[in-house]
């Protein structure tokens, strides 16, 4: 039987995967957001992960047995698929507890069309056990089918790096797994057929889930370490970046830099592992310590900016500050879980008037998510302080002198301005 694939969720993860599979298979991209479907069918991708030419090259007008991508919000269009790949977000709530709502809802959606012999693969980042203990029962209940008898499951964690045009989905080695050894091979072969970087078949779904969640936890802890170093070296009046450059000459020194840790992976995934550990009665000290330190960096950046302004004799209350960048990372429109919002909040608490300029962020998205006003147009005003929060390529050639008042402060969160900045992490 030919493989016909449904991708559930067409965001930063789902769309690149759907596009890739569509070069060899019949693919239906399913999303509940009709605006997103309309936009994609016209060849436009608001996430900027796929360019118009590449997207249009795989788009087809109807779902058929031929290869190509058909995007739809109609459940009937995925009924004839035999592989269902779930690529929905897995956020945390305001108390940093895993929010599995998108996974439950997408599992209900798949359950409505599930047939005997179908395979459901999850790509969303989760703690070990979520696929089999949380998602499968939903599939069984809605479909009336029995797991590992009537239908099967797999887990292949996404490794998408938003905004990265070099490490695209096919060039990143893919971890795969299945609910039985035979299904593991099937899932592995499916991905192997399009992933040029190759695959790694994990012995179980739980192992694959655990592997994903520790990838980002490891990065989080390493960044927390250099963030702590930045705090220490600032007190010692030593340039952190100079120290890291010197230490980096040793062959096994890991090249991490201080910064704000946001986004949908590194700032979220450790909480998923911590939650599962706590359910089993273990309190993870290093993982949560890293999270606490990284979550404190927004307030720390604000305090450093304020100190520099006071030293220059700038009155803080009522001061005008320009925040350059709002997205969670450079050259990417994704504003989910951006930590710039923490910096803005702290600066506003000090009584400053903050203007946010970001050529990548959509003002309506920022307003919807954070109730903050942003602009895509560089202001013509001058400011008491400038904070480079995100290293967008547009900022590389920016003439900061036109934006500064006589004694204003320029703070470089990303450490990319070299000698131009008054302060940096």
Enter the DSSP assignment of 256: -
Measured between alpha carbons, how far is residue 85 from residues 28, 106, 154, 157, 376 in Å?
Answer: 10, 10, 9, 11, 35
DSSP per-residue letters across 81-136: -SEEEE-----B-TTS-B--HHHHHHHHHHHHH--TT-EEEE-S---TTHIIIIIH
d(CA 294, CA 280) in angstroms, rounded, equals 25
- Whether 359 contacts 391, CB under 8 Å: no
Q: Say how many CA atoms lie within 13 Å of 146 toward its Cβ.
A: 1
Q: In what order do the strands lie in the sheet with 4-8?
A: 68-72, 26-30, 4-8, 83-86, 119-122, 152-155
**Tokens standing for 72?**
């739809």
Given the DSSP bridges, would you call strands 26-30 and 320-324 parallel, antiparallel or unpaired?
unpaired
| Catalytic (active site) residue 71 | no
Determine which one of 71, 81, 135, 265 is catalytic: 265
Residues designated as active site: 265
């Amino acid at each position: 039987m030919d493989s016909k694939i449904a991708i559930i969720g067409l965001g930063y993860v789902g769309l690149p995967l759907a596009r890739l599979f569509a070069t060899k298979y019949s693919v239906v991209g399913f999303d509940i957001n009709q605006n997103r479907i309309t936009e994609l069918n016209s060849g436009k991708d608001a996430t900027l992960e796929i360019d118009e030419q590449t997207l249009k090259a795989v788009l087809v007008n109807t779902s058929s047995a031929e290869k190509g991508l058909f995007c739809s919000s109609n459940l009937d269009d995925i009924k004839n698929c035999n592989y269902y790949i779930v690529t929905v977000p897995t956020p945390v709530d305001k108390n940093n507890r895993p929010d599995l709502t998108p996974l439950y809802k997408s599992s209900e959606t798949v359950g409505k069309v599930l047939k005997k012999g179908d395979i459901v693969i999850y790509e969303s980042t989760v703690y070990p056990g979520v696929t089999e203990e949380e998602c499968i029962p939903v599939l069984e209940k809605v479909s009336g089918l029995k797991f590992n008898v009537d239908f099967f499951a797999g887990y292949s964690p996404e490794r998408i790096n938003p905004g990265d045009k070099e490490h695209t989905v096919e060039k990143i080695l893919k971890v795969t797994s299945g609910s039985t050894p035979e299904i593991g091979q099937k899932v592995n072969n499916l991905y192997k057929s399009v992933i040029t970087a190759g695959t790694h078949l994990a012995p179980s779904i739980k192992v694959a889930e655990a592997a994903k969640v520790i990838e980002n936890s490891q990065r989080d802890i390493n960044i927390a370490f250099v963030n702590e170093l930045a705090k220490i070296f600032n007190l010692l009046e030593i340039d952190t970046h100079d120290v890291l450059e010197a230490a980096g000459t040793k062959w096994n020194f890991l090249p991490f830099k201080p910064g704000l840790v946001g986004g949908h992976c590194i700032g979220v995934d450790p909480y998923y592992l911590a939650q599962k550990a706590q359910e089993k009665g273990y309190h993870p000290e290093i993982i949560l310590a890293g999270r606490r330190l990284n979550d404190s960096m927004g307030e720390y950046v604000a305090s450093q900016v304020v100190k520099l302004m006071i030293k220059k004799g700038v009155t803080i209350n009522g001061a005008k500050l320009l925040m350059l960048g709002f997205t969670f990372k450079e050259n990417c429109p994704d504003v989910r879980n951006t930590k710039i919002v923490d910096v803005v909040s702290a600066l506003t608490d000090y009584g400053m008037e903050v203007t946010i300029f970001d050529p990548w962020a959509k003002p309506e998205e920022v307003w919807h998510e954070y109730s903050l006003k942003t602009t895509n147009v560089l202001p013509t005003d001058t400011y008491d302080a400038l904070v480079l929060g995100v290293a967008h390529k547009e900022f590389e050639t920016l003439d900061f002198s036109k934006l500064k008042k006589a004694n204003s402060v320029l703070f470089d969160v990303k450490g990319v301005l070299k000698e131009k900045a008054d302060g940096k992490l």
